Amino acid sequence: MNQSIKTGDPRKYGVSSAVKHSFEQLRMAKKIGDYFCTMSTWPKSVSLREYMKDMPFQKKEKTLPVIIAQVVLALKYLEALSFVHENINLDNIMIRSNLASDIPEVVIVGLHSVGSRYLSFSYDISWILGFENRTERYICERGYRPPEDYVKVGVMDPRLRSSWMLGATIYAALAGMPPYGYTFTLFGLTPWSDERLHETMVEVEKSEKNTYSPIYQLRNGVLLKVMERLLDCSPYNRPSIGSLSPNLLKELVESGSIGMPSLDDTLSLWSVFKSAAVAANPFHRDHATSTQNS
């Protein structure tokens, strides 16, 4: 998978080649006994959880759009390669802190949670995921899993699980906790019991109505629209990340505090992100450009 990211051509899918820098690097370590270990590396950064923790709410809703747009483009590229990240949350999105720029740069980590669904004779069949594979595997998944994970509905498209998780991540970045699974108390963030979480999510799945607490402070209508679309209770109505339109991403970025010029497509959108970062950081060099000019 790491090799596919490196050798793939994002431009075939309408995304700049710079998107390859939006992922951690997986490196093989030496064999230990009967096991091969991998080591993950990425640039100096902080998790989205830490990045947002002490930020005033008004700044959150102005800063988050450009971050989410970059995450969408990175996950679109993964999906185009027939991969899907099955554990999107505040801790698996890192924000680079060493750029001399006001534009936060995203790095997606947790690639051990990326599953492959290479295309078969039926595109839909190749992406199905059975109930036994939809159980909680990592503690950081709690509160981010979609309603269909809690009921035996046969098979489900993991791309739609990923889009719910991104919606839950937007909610968590704004509210300080995911839409379900936790409550703020005098003692801080308190997790629900497994029974309460299961019962709540089963009811949400059956009723197809969310019961999470609204974020009344949120005034960014585009960010709210994207979050609510991704948090659609019905997987049959919920869009995959790959199906989100470039126009919606353009609206999302323009709703934030970082002013963007008129953009025609996803490629130019990403190019603006990266060109701004390159202009601010003279040590950043695009490999293809350097080779061409040498």
* Max intra-chain CA distance, the chain: 62
Which one of 117-121, 133-137, 165-169 scores highest in mean pLDDT?
165-169
pLDDT higher at 130 or 173? 173
pLDDT tens-digit profile of 50-86?
999 999 999 999 999 999 999 999 999 888 888 888 8
Q: What is the mean pLDDT of residues 92-104?
A: 75
Q: What is the mean pLDDT of residues 185-195?
A: 91
Q: Is the pLDDT of residue 31 over 70?
A: no
C-alpha pair distances (Å), 250 with each of 54, 122, 155, 185, 265: 27, 32, 33, 38, 8
Q: How many CB atoms are located within 10 Å of the residue 228 CB?
A: 13
> Which H or E element spans position 47?
strand 45-47
pLDDT of residue 186: 87
pLDDT of residue 205: 93
pLDDT of residue 153: 62
pLDDT of residue 136: 57
- Identify the structural domains of the chain with CATH numbers, from first to last: 2-293 (1.10.510.10)
Q: What is the mean pLDDT of residues 268-282?
A: 43
Q: Which pairing describes strands 105-108 and 93-96: parallel, antiparallel, or unpaired?
A: antiparallel
pLDDT higher at 2 or 275? 2
237: DSSP letter: T
Distance CA 233, CA 84 (A): 20
What's the Rg (C-alpha) of the chain? 19
pLDDT of residue 163: 96
Tokens in use for 248? 């919606």
Helix (H, G, I), strand (E, B) or coil at 142: coil
Distance CA 146, CA 154 (A): 15
pLDDT of residue 265: 47
pLDDT of residue 291: 37
Alpha helices in 176-239 (DSSP H): 194-207, 221-230
pLDDT of residue 284: 37
* pTM score above 0.75: yes
Q: What is the mean pLDDT of residues 252-259?
A: 80
Vertex 192: Cα angle to 196 and 92 (nearest 5)? 120
48: DSSP letter: H
For the chain, what is the mean pLDDT?
Answer: 78
Q: What is the mean pLDDT of residues 112-123?
A: 52
Q: What is the mean pLDDT of residues 95-102?
A: 66
